[in-house]
Chains A and B, each alone.
Chain A
Amino acid sequence: MDKFNDTVNISGHDDIYQMIVDLHADGNEEKSQKINAKLIIAMINQIGSEQIVKEIIEMVRLNEEKYNPRSSTH
């Protein structure tokens, strides 16, 4: 079974981080949303496993909930 690797799996982190920040350099919110969407869609295809994508989505959901919990009173 495919499994999401939650340990370090690549090098060149500073370069990669900078490339992402540069992609969003013009500060246009709408454009940035679409750029991020394109990154996600391309990376999902590269990952090539529905199971791993599911695990990543779940990891993000839990992490987001931990640091930015939704208020319990709606």
Chain B
Amino acid sequence: MTFSDIPKFKLKEYSKAPELSSKTIAHKPVIIVGSGPVGLAAALDLAQKGHEVTILTAFDFIALGSKAICFAKQSLDIFDRLGIGERIIEKGVIWNIGKLFWKDQTNPVFQFDMLPVTNQKNPGFVNIQQYYVEDYLVDALEDMDNVDIRWGHSISDIEVRNDGARLDVDTRDGSYQIDADYVLACDGFRSKIRDSMGLDFEGRIFEDNFLIADIKFKGKAAEQRPSERWFWFDPPFCPGGTALLHKQPDDVWRLDFQLGWDIDREAVLKPENVEPYVKGMLGDDIEFEREWYSVYTFQCRRMNRFVHGPVIFVGDSAHLVSPFGARGANGGLSDAENIAWKLDLVMRGIAPRSLIESYNDERIMGADENIRNSSRSTDFMSPKNEQSLAFRNAVLELSNDYSFARPFINSGRLSTPTPYHDSPLSTVDNDEWDGGPKPGFPCVDAPVNDNEDSNWLLEKLGNDFKLLQFGGKAPESDLDVINIPIDSLAAQRYDAHHGATYLIRPDQVVAARWKEAQADDINGAYQRAIGAA
């Protein structure tokens, strides 16, 4: 298979499968299919937890092109845990502010801050090209002895068996079969595995076209532009449509224009037709070079189930959203983090296999929230009938003069972690709380002020279950205890200034909490959180 039409960021070395010169079929504990950020993050997470990981990817390169660029705080927290967070922050463009413009007005109608709670380690968002994220993940994976990345190995079929799954793999040297206890299908929205298993998506398809122009834009005009998310409704350079501007590393800017449904795709992409849009947005006198132009449409859909026996769908293979809100890659990374710790405990024999079913429950909650938000944003941006157009324009006209209407403006509700309400893994509160993250909610970061090297709470969590003990002494258990002083900002954020104990999952989600914990409480909550209760 060749991918001559795909632009390449970095070539990777194909290697011949040992199975081609062997008569027996190899059996692996876990195979990850796909080399996007989601598959690579899941692979690195499992590898760091000590598992033998095999990655199969049809590509023998890291692809260039216009893909994910906005990585949200919760993804940065995941990258921190995986050890590549600092590289991403260093390379990326940090932003917290979003501005909304209307028509030809130069002053924003509205602006918002993505990090309303300050004093956290990571910013609200970092913009960085997807290929850098992939490159850093691959670098970390290549450093590990228990990881086998097979570039240029594409799946042609899958057979689900009683004890796992058997994959048919095509390479330039021939085809082979390989077995696995578990397969993580991280092979994107055109997932070969999903097709081979006769599975499909359910939901809405939006008939609208958007032009993406990734351009190199340097000089004074570029330097004067702040790193903020700028969004336009009905601007003169894209009448009746919307437009979006983001800054990326290496002087690359992402420009996005809504074109409507009836367009000639080939004509739109011609440089002479893209140029008026670019200059309309950034100014007639600017100079720029094309990095990559593309036209996209989108869908807001998901699979009915993400877990199919030993085959688990993760990221775009399981669900699709519109790009407004940065919920694609960020949602996928949350999937990867969720399945990684569960599969780890199941493969180590600590948790029952049924724990994997909770991935289905929790990440369907995540996908539904992302689909709901991104569908609503799309309906605001592209009203589907005269009445919704009237409401949309009424909101914008009022917002220009009155603050009360501004929160109705929806240019994409940006990705935040999904709370797992009523998760089967959570233990319901028994005590009265005045705040702090509830069971099923993600941990909030805070400075710990304990004079150790790492001053951030989230840096102390992750990779395994932890007990957060605020003041006092934690009851006897086998879990790692993190002691936090009760006069810290962390204790305030966890409503723990009079003492408290939190049980935290490996994905930094609260499993249970007590004002005065007993050893039995902790053990019961832990058993429930690993699916054993």
Contact = CB atoms under 8 A, between A and B. Distances in A.
B394 interface: yes
Contact of B386 (A30, A38, A40, A45): A30
A33 B386 contact: yes
A37 B397 CA distance: 11
A42 B405 CA distance: 7
Contacts, number: 33
A74 interface: no
Interface residues of A, number: 11
Interface of A is mostly: helix
A45 B404 contact: yes
A34 interface: yes
Contacts of A63: none
Interface in B157-198: none
A36 interface: yes
Contacts of A37: 387, 390-391, 393-395
B390 A34 contact: yes
Contacts of A25: none
Interface string A14-44: 0000000000000000100111111011100
Task: Output the residue of B390, B393, B404, B405 with the most chain A CB within 10 A.
Answer: B390
Interface in B358-394: 386-387, 390-391, 393-394
A43 B4 CA distance: 58
Interface in B385-441: 386-387, 390-391, 393-395, 397-398, 402, 404-405, 408
Interface residues of B, number: 13
B467 to A, nearest CB: 37
A38 B397 contact: yes
A48 to B, nearest CB: 10
A30 B394 CA distance: 11
A74 B437 CA distance: 47
Contacts of B402: 42
A34 B397 contact: yes
A34 B393 contact: yes
B398 A42 contact: yes
Contact of B405 (A30, A35, A41): A41
Nearest to B403: A45
B390 A41 contact: no
A35 B387 CA distance: 11
B387 to A, nearest CB: 6
Interface centre among B386, B387, B391 (most CB of A within 10 A): B391
Given A35-B394, A42-B398, A42-B402, 13 more contacts: A30-B390, A33-B386, A33-B390, A34-B390, A34-B397, A36-B390, A37-B387, A37-B393, A37-B395, A38-B394, A41-B394, A41-B408, A42-B405
Interface of A: 30, 33-38, 40-42, 45
Closest 6 CB pairs of A and B: A37-B394, A33-B390, A45-B404, A37-B391, A38-B394, A34-B390
